Amino acid sequence: MGEMRRVYLDNAATTMQKPPCVVEAVTAALTSFGNSGRDTGGHALDASRVIYDARCLISDLFNLGNPKQVVFTCNSTEALNMAIRGLFHRGDHVISSVMEHNAVLRPLYDIEEDQGVSHTFIGVDEKGRLLVSEIEKNIRPETKALIFTHASNVTGNANDLHAIGKIAKKHGLLFIVDASQTAGVLPIDMQDMNIDIVAFTGHKGLYGPQGTGGMAIREGIDIHPLKSGGTGVLSYLKHQPEEMPTHLECGTMNAHGLAGLHASLNWLVKEVGIDQVHAHEIALAKRFYEGLKDMEAIRFYGDYDTDQRAAIVSLNIADYDSSEVSDQLESDYGISTRPGAHCAPLIHEAMGTVNQGMVRFAFSWFNTEEDVDYAVKAVRELATDI
C-alpha cells in the first residue's frame, strides 16, 4: 500500500501553500532586516522600504488612495478590535449581521457591556444570504456604523458591498468591512463602494505569512488607539502621535512577516491577478459541489448559484457529527477540512447546525482538479457507507 495522498482543503482558515517568492522574501528578511523606523542604517531602511511598499500595494488593492492610511496588525482580528473598540461612544448603535465571525461578534458584545454601545444583527434567508432589505429598517438616530463581513467563512456567501455602501452613504454611517475571507479574492473598491474601513488578514487569500494583517482606513476617520508605545518618532509625546499610520502602530513591526506579504501581494496582483486566482478557486469549488449534489444524504449550506462567493463548500452527511466526518476524512483519506462552528456561532444558529456543525471544504490557487476529484470520491464513499 502506497503513502496516503494528502489534500489540504482548510484554506479558509489559512492557505497552507504559499508561492515560493514568499518563502524567499521571508528568508532574505530574516538574515538582513534591521528594525523598521528605528535607525538610519541600511538594514533598518530595507525593512522600512518593504513595509512602505506593502502599504502601497494594499492601498492600491482596495483603491484606498493613500498608503499612509494602511495600518498593519498581527491579524484581522486585531484590526477589527481596533476599529470596533476605538470608534464608538456610550449610546451609539451599530448594525451588523448573523454572518459575522467572533472577531466581530465578541468585540461587539464587549463594547455593549463595557461602553454601552448597542447592536442589531441582520438575519439571513434559508440559503444563508443576508437580508439586505432589513438593514435600512433597523437604522435609528443613534446608529453610527454598518459592520459586515464581505463573505461568510461558513457558507462562503458574499455580501453585496455596493448595495450596503449605498445605504451607509445615504444615512451618513461608517461602513466597516471584514474582508478576512475575500481580500485578494473578490474585488474591493473602497471609493466606489463607499467603504470606510477594510480589515484584512495576510495569511488567507493574500497568500502571505501568518502574523500579518491590517486595516485600510479612509482619511479623516479617527480611531482611538488600542495600544500605545514606542514609535521611533516623536518619542517625547506622552501619547501615540496623531500621524498615520504611527497613530495605530507601536512597538517593533513584524517586518519579517511583512516581507512575505509584500512578496505575495506582488505575486498576486502583478503576476497572477486576483481575478484569475478567484476563477481557479471557484471552478474547483463548483466542481466539488457538482460532483456531490446528486447525493441525497448530503445537505449543502450556502448559495451555489453564483460565482460572487468565496471558494467554500460547507456540508453535512445525514445527521453525522461534522467532527466525526472531518476526522474520518483526515485519518482515512488524508484530507484536511474544518468541522464544528468555525468561530461563527450565529450563522450556525440561523442554519440550524449548532449541534452538528458543518464540514467545510475551502479551495486555494494551489489545489488541483485531482484534489477535488479525490475529495469528491472520499465524501461519496462516506455518504454511501452510512
Site residues for a second copy, 134-163, by CB under 8 A, read none
250 binds a second copy, rule: CB under 8 A: yes
355 binds a second copy, rule: CB under 8 A: no
Name the grid cell of 353. Answer: 447546525
Among 205, 214, 245, 339, binds a second copy (CB under 8 A): 339
122 within 8 A of 97, measured Cβ to Cβ: yes
49 binds a second copy, rule: CB under 8 A: no
Segment contacting a second copy (CB under 8 A): 38-46, 131-139, 166-174, 313-321?
38-46
Shortest Cβ 59–a second copy spacing (Å): 21
Query: For a second copy, how many residues bind (rule: CB under 8 A)?
Result: 85
18 binds a second copy, rule: CB under 8 A: yes
Q: Which is nearer to a second copy, 283 or 341 (CB)?
A: 341
Name the grid cell of 123. Answer: 438575519
Shortest Cβ 57–a second copy spacing (Å): 19
Q: Is 232 helix (H, G, I), strand (E, B) or coil?
A: coil
Range 65-84, binding a second copy (CB under 8 A)? 73-78, 80-81
- Which parts of the chain fold into alpha helices (H)? 20-30, 42-61, 76-86, 102-115, 133-137, 161-171, 255-265, 274-292, 322-333, 345-351, 369-385
254 binds a second copy, rule: CB under 8 A: yes
Among 44, 223, 248, 375, binds a second copy (CB under 8 A): 44
Shortest Cβ 137–a second copy spacing (Å): 25
Q: What's the rounded Cα separation, in Å, for the pair 344 and 246?
A: 32
Segment contacting a second copy (CB under 8 A): 54-62, 86-94, 104-112, 136-144?
104-112
Range 182-241, binding a second copy (CB under 8 A)? 201, 203, 209-213, 226-232, 235-236, 238-240
Q: Which is nearer to a second copy, 69 or 254 (CB)?
A: 254
Range 255-314, binding a second copy (CB under 8 A)? 255-257, 260
115 binds a second copy, rule: CB under 8 A: no
Name the grid cell of 320. Answer: 453525522
Which residues on adjacent β-strands are paired with residue 75? none
Reading across the β-sheet that carries 93-97, which strands appear in turn? 70-73, 213-217, 197-201, 174-178, 143-149, 93-97, 118-122
Q: Checking DSSP bridges between strand 70-73 and strand 197-201, what pairing results, if any?
A: unpaired
38 binds a second copy, rule: CB under 8 A: yes
56 within 8 A of 49, measured Cβ to Cβ: no
With 0-12 CB in 10 A as exposed, 13-18 as middle and 19+ as buried, what is 235?
Answer: exposed
344 binds a second copy, rule: CB under 8 A: yes
Shortest Cβ 226–a second copy spacing (Å): 7
90 binds a second copy, rule: CB under 8 A: no
Q: What's the rounded Cα separation, in Å, for the pair 165 and 185?
A: 19
